[in-house]
Amino acid sequence: MKTVTFRLDLKRVTLTDIQVLEFARAAIAKGLPREAQRFKHWAVVVDDSVIGLKWLFSRVTGIPEIAYAPSLARRIFQDRLGLEVVNLSNERARRRETKRFEARTRRSQERPTTRRKHRITRDEYREFFQSVEARLSELLPAAIQAEPHHFQARANFWQVIFDEFGGCHYQITLRRDDHEIGLHFESTRQASHARLATFQPHIEELSKSLGERVQTGTMGPRGAWTRIWLEREVEPLNESLASAYAAQLARFIAATFPLLPETAHARTRKTERGNGARVEQTNPAYLILEHESQTIRAFLEGRSDHRPTDEKICDWIQFCYWFELYAEGRDLYKLVLADGVNPWYLERTRKLAKICELRAR
């Protein structure tokens, strides 16, 4: 049995995984109400049924749904209690999850004693990405290899970052239902979409040169980021697959890297803030601001490895207020625990968050 204790809006809550599952199963047995199935993105999987994440979290904690962000409920249910939380944000994902549930049900009926599928550990991901990195260094063209770059591994994805082109990186992502080899633009909405636009005229040519369909689209918070990618079927992680992905990524980089200077040109256009100030996007100050905004968004999406202090979150709210990231400032305040902040600073932050909420509408 797993147990978690946390505090939100002066309320102390203790939960166990058994408690949550028993409540969910009782609700399923009675027939789930309509509001339990009226969710946009996140849901909890319980015995081949899906239940809205915020609905279930509110019912077992007694905390209103408007008092917290989905990332808090997801972190507690998935990371602390080990429950299965899935993102059903579009119809394609819904169909994929439905097929997975049906297949799981058939297998349980045909082979009731069959063991669950092996879940890949962080160590297995790390060893796989190390193998890819070792092979990629040998396969990249010499001219690209000479460009300053570094590698970064995070959970189930691994990045190749070229120092000259901030706000973008190549990435291999290993999801449960598919794998991806792609180029991500994760900067401001304007810069990310401008960079994708410079690639659009070349997509057909890239598809022909790589011998497969190159896909483009948006991702991230409210579609602010963009990507270009190749989709792969899920396969077991082994040395053979690492060699194959390294070779495919090397070809993908060789085909797209010559176009990156065009995206950098799109990114150097001046942008205006609401107070009339103009910021050149390639100067060091802009890069610092861009890094901070990416860190905040990663935390809100649950992609951060650790939780900052409550005072740091308050600092972020002030940052969001000054640089007009109003939706982020509003969402961050929902994650502040009152007993971790000096009262006067908390009150000041509350006022800034209220302004962010009003301006984000």
Residue 108 confidence (pLDDT): 65
Average pLDDT over residues 296-323: 86
pLDDT band at 272 (very low <50, low <70, confident <90, very high): very low
Look up the CATH architecture of domain 122-267. 2-Layer Sandwich (3.30)
More confident: 181 or 43: 181
CATH 3.30.1460 domain locations along the chain: 122-267
Report the C-alpha gap between 2 and 269 in whole angstroms.
51
Three-state secondary-structure class, residue 193? helix
Predicted local distance difference test score (pLDDT) of residue 257? 92
**Mean per-residue pLDDT for 78-102?**
74
Is the pLDDT score of 37 beyond 90?
no
pLDDT over threshold 90, residue 239: yes
* Residue 34: per-residue pLDDT: 84
215, 228 contact by CB (below 8 A): yes
For residue 211, how many other CB atoms are within 10 A of its CB? 7
CA distance 178 to 234: 5
Beta carbons of 181 and 245 less than 8 angstroms apart:
yes
Long-range own/partner contacts, residues 76-84 (CB < 8 A, 24 or more apart)? 76/4, 76/6, 76/15, 77/20, 77/44, 77/53, 80/2, 80/4, 81/2, 81/4, 81/15, 81/16, 81/17, 81/20, 82/2, 82/17, 83/17, 83/20, 83/21, 83/44, 83/45, 83/46, 84/44, 84/45
Asked if the model's pLDDT at residue 268 lies above 60, the reply is no
- Say whether pLDDT at 276 is over 80: no
Is the CB of residue 199 less than 8 Å from the CB of residue 263?
A: yes
